[in-house]
Chains A and B, each alone.
Chain A
């Protein structure tokens, strides 16, 4: 089944009877060449690229719940490539380029919308920092524009420019950044992978690894043992507890991040805005709801729900930036568990165990990375060599003093 405008009209006229399932529901086979653990965005994108780009066969994705039940369906959908450090920026720009072609490539509407992201500047020092970042972005081939106060005012006149403590002095704009429909991305990759013969196996939790003589032979699951030549783990917030089953301790703590949606409002925010003085960022969904978030709760958690102090903090940040939202009612709030790594950057690498590969540590920023992470992890799994833009995401960088610490916070995961 191919999606097209013509097809949508045809289905509308024939009672939608022609839409089938987007993917098969296969029984797990006894063994595969590649087993990907975790059916989130990264796991599905990995399987898709393994099959599509690297021509791999006999691939399975094992997901303990349903596809898209993790962070891929819980995030605030921002995609951008506005990082500073050389270990990060080329990778995120590679990802941005993949976003730009993804929907045509996998023939699925992921509602990728390059509506622009504006990072607000409130102090002179912040302007210097953003100018530097903007230049770093351009070095990596990304777009960036430094706006002055009046240019920001022209875009969003209702922001609180006169805030006594945090006056808005300008902004760093990346026009190619924006949002995408998060679960649409998961479904698109899932469908694309399925069409290429990948087995997507849901309700299949990996409970252990069979490792002999330093080599992985397969995985124990709630649906029985599954053999594998290579196993790639991409379980987002669960990396710590899954890799513990392979006897590994990671430079990662699991933390909860919350997200919020207001009642539907008339369109008034056509891009993504981040507050540079507090922890608040906001965009407006096509349904009109304000989608916003802030800081992580700040303590180890596997609970998939946060606590009230952060809700207050986020609401206060929102009110400081855009007092107009004071009367909007909050419709929903939820939490997702993320790997917070020790330097705030991810890991895509081999492990000390032959045949076992790790994709982890995405913190609160792995949605934008979904296509590139899948591509790079697939390349590593298929060729044992890293993708050039992901070469810095090594597991041993902490031991070697090569951390990629965008925020300069040190080994304190809840501050990244």
Chain B
């Protein structure tokens, strides 16, 4: 598999390590009401879809960026990649 790194172009997936579902970016607030339940969900439960999956890959033998890669789990086709930082910042409203 080749991952289209947003800064470095197509790179061998072997250079990366895999973490899992990109929802791991959305860590719950540990102080909020119902935090234990929210953390159970966050740590353990997964959508695990057969089809398009957004997932976190770390460019370990590369520039050490975290990427959000969109990939089809049935065909292994890679549909796109973004810097996880950009995704996380956009989710927070774009502020730096």
Q: Which of A240, A302, A413 has the most CB of B within 10 A?
A: A302
- Check A413/B20 contact, CB under 8 A, given A251-B46, A309-B13, A399-B40: yes
> Is B48 in contact with A240, judged by CB distance below 8 angstroms?
yes
Q: Interface residues of A: mostly helix, strand, loop or mixed?
A: mixed
In the bound assembly, the distance between CA atoms of A298 and B47 in angstroms comes to 17
> Is A302 in contact with B40, judged by CB distance below 8 angstroms?
no
How many whole Å from A34's CB to the nearest CB in chain B?
Answer: 26
- Chain A: residues with Cβ within 8 Å of the partner, total of 25
Pick from B19, B44, B53: contact of A398, CB under 8 Å: B44
Which of B25-33, B68-76, B88-96 faces chain A? B68-76
Pick from A241, A411, A414: contact of B48, CB under 8 Å: A241
> Is B76 in contact with A301, judged by CB distance below 8 angstroms?
yes
Pick from B14, B18, B43, B71: contact of A411, CB under 8 Å: B43
Interface residues of A in 268-300 (CB under 8 A from B): 298-300
How many whole Å from B31's CB to the nearest CB in chain A?
Answer: 20
> Is B73 in contact with A303, judged by CB distance below 8 angstroms?
yes
Interface residues of A in 357-416 (CB under 8 A from B): 398-399, 411-414
Closest B residue by C-beta to A413: B20
In the bound assembly, the distance between CA atoms of A413 and B43 in angstroms comes to 11
> Is A302 in contact with B73, judged by CB distance below 8 angstroms?
yes
Return chain B residues, CB-CB under 8 Å to A307: 1, 13, 76
* Residue A250, interface by CB 8 Å: yes
Closest B residue by C-beta to A251: B44
> Is A251 in contact with B50, judged by CB distance below 8 angstroms?
no
Closest B residue by C-beta to A239: B48
* Residue A51, interface by CB 8 Å: no
How many whole Å from B56's CB to the nearest CB in chain A?
Answer: 10
Return chain A residues, CB-CB under 8 Å to B47: 240, 244, 249
Closest B residue by C-beta to A309: B14
* Residue A342, interface by CB 8 Å: yes
> Which residues of chain A have a CB within 8 Å of any CB of chain B?
238, 240-241, 244, 249-254, 298-303, 307, 309, 342, 398-399, 411-414
Return chain B residues, CB-CB under 8 Å to A253: 20-21, 46, 48
Interface residues of B in 20-69 (CB under 8 A from A): 20-21, 40-41, 43-50, 53, 55
Return chain B residues, CB-CB under 8 Å to A298: 17-18
Pick from B45, B53, B71, B73: contact of A251, CB under 8 Å: B45
In the bound assembly, the distance between CA atoms of A412 and B24 in angstroms comes to 12
> Is A252 in contact with B46, judged by CB distance below 8 angstroms?
yes
Closest B residue by C-beta to A397: B44
Closest A residue by C-beta to B76: A303
> Is B76 in contact with A240, judged by CB distance below 8 angstroms?
no
In the bound assembly, the distance between CA atoms of A413 and B73 in angstroms comes to 16
Closest B residue by C-beta to A400: B40
22 residue pairs bridging A and B, Cβ less than 8 Å apart: A240-B46, A240-B48, A244-B49, A249-B46, A250-B45, A250-B46, A252-B48, A254-B50, A254-B73, A298-B17, A301-B76, A302-B50, A303-B73, A303-B74, A303-B75, A307-B1, A307-B13, A309-B14, A342-B43, A342-B44, A411-B43, A414-B18
Closest B residue by C-beta to A410: B43
